[in-house]
Amino acid sequence: MTTETIFARQMNMAEHIELVIESTQVGIWDWDIETSKVTFNEQWAKLIGFKVKELLPMNFDKLLTKIHPLDVKTINTIIAKHFNDNSGLYSVEFRMLHKMGHYVWIQANGKLIEHSLNGNPKRMIGTHVDISQKKVNAEKLETNAQLLYETQHIGKLGGWQLNLKTNELFWTDETYALHDTSPTEFNPTYDAGLDYYLPESKDILIEALDKAINKGIGYDLELQTYTKKSRKIDIRTTCVVTLDQGVPTYLTGIFQDITDHKSNQRKLEQANIDLLKANSDLKFSSNYDLLTGLPNRNLLTEKIEHTIQQSLQSNTLVAIAFIDLDCFKNINDNYGHHVGDKFLKVLSQKFKTTIRECDTISRFGGDEFVAVINRLTNQVDGEKLISKLLSIASEPIKIDNMLINVTASIGITYFPSDNSNPDQLLRHADQAMYKAKQDGKNQIKKFNIKENQDVITLNEKLKRITQALEMKEFVLYYQPKVDLRTKSLIGVEALIRWNHPVDGVLPPAMFLPEIENDLLEIEIGKWVIETAFNQSKKWTDLGHDIPISVNISPMHLQHPQFVSDLKSTINGYPDFKGGSIEFEILETSALKDINRVSMIMKKCNALGITFSIDDFGTGYSSLTYLKQLPAKYLKIDQSFIRNMLDDIDDKSIVKGIIELAKVFNLQVIAEGVETPEHGDLLLSLGSHIAQGYGISKPISNLEVLPWLKVWKEKPFLIDGSI
Ligand code: C2E
Ligand code: MG
Ligand code: MG
């Protein structure tokens, strides 16, 4: 006999049920519908935290107060339905208020077991089971499922599974959605799924699936497919293989729409390509001329640099030819810029085909080109090639049915005879080209290295002269002018000297020509005027009235600030007396712009400055001109005076000048009076103011007063005492 049989025998049925109820923790209820009374067991009360007696008496309405307000209606509806059906089980889930204040989920099952005589429901019994935990779990499950659905949707992430035994293909909702379809619309199969892929993707996928099915190897691919609505999408599809005893049974994977990601990636790639292109365009435009495609100035300098290095190594010559088209502007002006541009393009190509492969032709700017001809063994070969460029440039070119032609001026310099850097070489070729233009265009000129050397030395000289001015190495010497009749001193001429620390006292011929037309000429001129004013004041202070004449260079005289500078100098000498300073201007310079010069002279006259026309006779002044110049003296050039004793022509010139001066009411000063004979002749010709070595050589300021003293005592040096 088994233990179970013994056990069954020992208990009666009621005890048995009681035991089951207790062990399963099921609450039992019994509802007398007519009286509304509800009876229940201990477990029923326990489910909501009470003892039986705490709940007694219990009726249906009281019970309803223990139900969650939102569930009451459901309960009533289901009970009503159960009463109505009168079949099956009453089953409902609802919440009941626990003694502790929270709600407990209850699963109620029951059955109407008795009707009254009139057929109304009379008695119903049933159970209550606590399903709170089950509810929580279900809710969690629901939330998880929902979350999974949402995230898959957000991530456009679908899934699929292929059962290899049945060949059934399963798609998740999102996979359908990604294909713009739904399970009701489309039945996915292995072949139907594949058909939507783009050809290239389809081939890749077939191969990958083949490997998965036959070899159990998974994949992770990025492909392109069409959706049911013919929308092209980028997808990522992966596959893992489930094996059963080494044999693939399921393929499972994701199916993800990565169109946005891919399109961003493509945009990025395109942006990268664009960037690379922009970079190379930029590189091209920084090195090449966009119109002609020829190397530009930038690249040219590099090429020259490279070429001269090569030339040094190979012991060959390089010609740098600067080509400037003559009157190219006319083409633009007459036919418009577009024609000019076309012309330049065609000409560039012709230049390019004329030079050799190893040479370079570059567009320097506008209508300027530079050819770099290298590997030359002699200059003659270079010139031959460059002559070809010259004749090519003058060939007519047909643009828009018009025959257009220009010529070119070309300047060349050769490295290494012109041993300069690329920039200098270009400048030298440019200078030579400029010469070609000046000499009538349409020709080639070679850069003259010697001339350039002269320019360099000149620059150095200018630097040194500037330094001399700063170092106060200049001094003024003074050469007396006297009246031959009275022997009195009528003034001195200030003559500049350079007290050179090494070379001694240098005459103006040694440095004034160097600064001619340089701004330095004005600086030195200002210094001379200032020094003369200063000296004049010193002599005046010593009681000597010695007018000083100052030589003014043409450039200085015509400087816009000349008169105002003079005013401020005069303002610095409150005791300045009109006539104590004179200006000597060259006849030749006065003639250049006579109206302007005479205006300046008048302004200076107004300030108390008188004028001499210096070196008179050399400028061939006409009478009309002379009349316009408000001068006080005419200084006859010393060349006439010196030779007048022997040269009858010079004598008549001197005579003529003296007569002329009388007509214009000008006084005459004769320069270069070296001997008493000169003096005598001058007096006989009617001129009596003289300056010359026969009276005194130019002397320093310190020597003037001592000389004057001697001169006053014995004013006849002219008689041969020097
Ligand atoms: P200039 O104004 O005609 O000055 C006269 C020049 O003749 C002076 O030469 C003087 O030394 C020279 N001379 C005077 N008498 C005789 C003579 O009997 N025989 C000979 N052989 N020469 C005589 P210097 O001082 O060498 O000046 C030459 C020129 O330089 C001046 O000619 C003048 O044009 C210019 N110069 C001199 N000083 C200045 C200056 O401060 N400023 C400017 N702008 N030019 C000056
Ligand atoms: Mg003079
Ligand atoms: Mg003179």
DSSP-derived 3-state class of residue 421:
coil
pLDDT number for residue 190: 86
Nearest ligand atom owner, CA of 506: 1
- Whether 344 and 418 map to the same domain: the answer is yes
The CA 693 to ligand 2 mean position distance, Å, reads 14
Q: Which atom of ligand 1 is nearest to the CA of 635?
A: 3
Apex CA 504: angle with CA 499 and CA 507, to 5°?
Answer: 65
DSSP-assigned states of every residue in 674-703: -SHHHHHHHHHHT--EEESTTT---EEHHH
Distance from C-alpha of 387 to C-alpha of 444, rounded to nearest angstrom: 8
Name the stretches of the chain with pLDDT < 70: 1-14, 619-624, 716-722
pLDDT number for residue 78: 94
Residue 220 belongs to a domain with what CATH number? 3.30.450.20
- Whether 447 and 427 map to the same domain: the answer is yes
Residue 467 lies in a domain: yes
User: Which of 98, 103, 102, 108 shows the shortest CA–CA distance to 50?
Assistant: 98
User: Which of 205, 230, 234, 232 shows the shortest CA–CA distance to 220?
Assistant: 205
Ligand 1 atom 28: the closest Cα is on which residue? 508
* Residue that is written with structure tokens 């089980």 in the block: 89
pLDDT number for residue 10: 52
pLDDT number for residue 5: 47
- Whether 691 and 663 map to the same domain: the answer is yes
Residue 374 lies in a domain: yes
User: Which of 229, 223, 232, 228 shows the shortest CA–CA distance to 256?
Assistant: 223
- Whether 512 and 417 map to the same domain: the answer is no
- Whether 444 and 464 map to the same domain: the answer is no
Nearest ligand atom owner, CA of 549: 2
Structural contact between residues 655 and 678, judged by C-beta atoms closer than 8 angstroms: no
Handedness of CA 678, 679, 684, 687 (dihedral sign): positive
DSSP E strand stretches across 167-246:
169-171, 219-226, 232-244
Structural contact between residues 597 and 555, judged by C-beta atoms closer than 8 angstroms: no
Q: What are phi and psi of 468, to 5 degrees?
A: -60, -40
SS3 letters for 146-163?
Answer: HHHHHHHHHCCEEEEEEE
Ligand 1 atom 31: the closest Cα is on which residue? 495
Residues 6+ apart with CB under 8 A from 392: 347, 350, 351, 354
pLDDT digits (tens, 9 = 90+) for 124-149: 999 999 999 998 898 888 888 888 88
Distance from C-alpha of 640 to C-alpha of 623, rounded to nearest angstrom: 19
What are 125's two structure tokens?
A: 């019994």
The CA 640 to ligand 3 mean position distance, Å, reads 11
Q: Which atom of ligand 1 is nearest to the CA of 521?
A: 44
DSSP-derived 3-state class of residue 608:
coil
Nearest ligand atom owner, CA of 617: 3
59: how many CB neighbours lie within 10 A of its CB?
A: 13
| Whole-number Cα distances in Å, 649 to 32, 494, 653, 662, 674 | 169, 30, 6, 20, 19
What are 37's two structure tokens?
A: 């009374």
Residue 547 lies in a domain: yes
Q: Which helix (H) or strand (E) holds 322?
A: strand 317-326
Residue 55 lies in a domain: yes
- Outline where 485-561 has alpha helix (H): 512-515, 519-541, 554-557
DSSP-derived 3-state class of residue 250:
strand
pLDDT number for residue 627: 76
Mark which of 433, 451, 469 sits at the end of a domain.
451
Handedness of CA 398, 400, 404, 406 (dihedral sign): negative
Distance from C-alpha of 97 to C-alpha of 419, rounded to nearest angstrom: 109
Distance from C-alpha of 213 to C-alpha of 232, rounded to nearest angstrom: 27
- Whether 388 and 492 map to the same domain: the answer is no
What are 601's two structure tokens?
A: 């002279």
User: Which of 342, 340, 157 shows the shortest CA–CA distance to 235?
Assistant: 157
Structural contact between residues 354 and 280, judged by C-beta atoms closer than 8 angstroms: no
- Whether 56 and 189 map to the same domain: the answer is no
pLDDT digits (tens, 9 = 90+) for 13-67: 667 777 777 777 899 999 999 999 999 999 999 999 999 999 999 999 999 999 9
Burial class (CB in 10 A: 0-12, 13-18, 19+), 151: exposed
Distance from C-alpha of 453 to C-alpha of 459, rounded to nearest angstrom: 10
- Whether 447 and 465 map to the same domain: the answer is no
587: how many CB neighbours lie within 10 A of its CB?
A: 23
Residue 272 lies in a domain: no
The CA 646 to ligand 3 mean position distance, Å, reads 20
417: how many CB neighbours lie within 10 A of its CB?
A: 10
603: how many CB neighbours lie within 10 A of its CB?
A: 16
The CA 614 to ligand 3 mean position distance, Å, reads 5
Number of folded domains that form the chain: 4
Structural contact between residues 36 and 56, judged by C-beta atoms closer than 8 angstroms: no
* Residue that is written with structure tokens 């307000």 in the block: 69
Amino acid at 113: I
Strand bridging mode 38-40 / 27-32: antiparallel
Ligand 1 atom 25: the closest Cα is on which residue? 495
- Whether 482 and 626 map to the same domain: the answer is yes
Range of the domain at 399: 288-451
Q: What are phi and psi of 504, to 5 degrees?
A: 85, -160
CB within 6 Å of ligand 1 — which residues? 479, 494-496, 507-509, 512, 528, 551-553, 584, 614-615, 638, 671-672, 674, 691-693, 698
- Whether 551 and 510 map to the same domain: the answer is yes
Residue 581 belongs to a domain with what CATH number? 3.20.20.450
The CA 686 to ligand 1 mean position distance, Å, reads 24
* Residue that is written with structure tokens 């009726």 in the block: 59
Mark which of 130, 162, 185 sits at the end of a domain.
130
Mutate to test the pocket of ligand 1, among 484, 495, 614, 675 (most ligand atoms within 8 A of CB): 495
- Give CA torsion, residues 388, 394, 395, 400, to 10 deg: 140
- Whether 179 and 98 map to the same domain: the answer is no
Ligand 1 atom 10: the closest Cα is on which residue? 698
Residue 270 lies in a domain: no
- Whether 491 and 634 map to the same domain: the answer is yes
pLDDT number for residue 722: 34
The CA 626 to ligand 2 mean position distance, Å, reads 18
pLDDT number for residue 285: 74
Mutate to test the pocket of ligand 1, among 475, 477, 498, 671 (most ligand atoms within 8 A of CB): 671
The CA 534 to ligand 1 mean position distance, Å, reads 21
DSSP-derived 3-state class of residue 627:
helix
Handedness of CA 626, 631, 633, 634 (dihedral sign): negative
Residue 108 lies in a domain: yes
Structural contact between residues 432 and 420, judged by C-beta atoms closer than 8 angstroms: no
Residue 140 lies in a domain: no
Mark which of 451, 472, 502 sits at the end of a domain.
451
The CA 589 to ligand 3 mean position distance, Å, reads 13
Residue 395 belongs to a domain with what CATH number? 3.30.70.270
Nearest ligand atom owner, CA of 582: 2
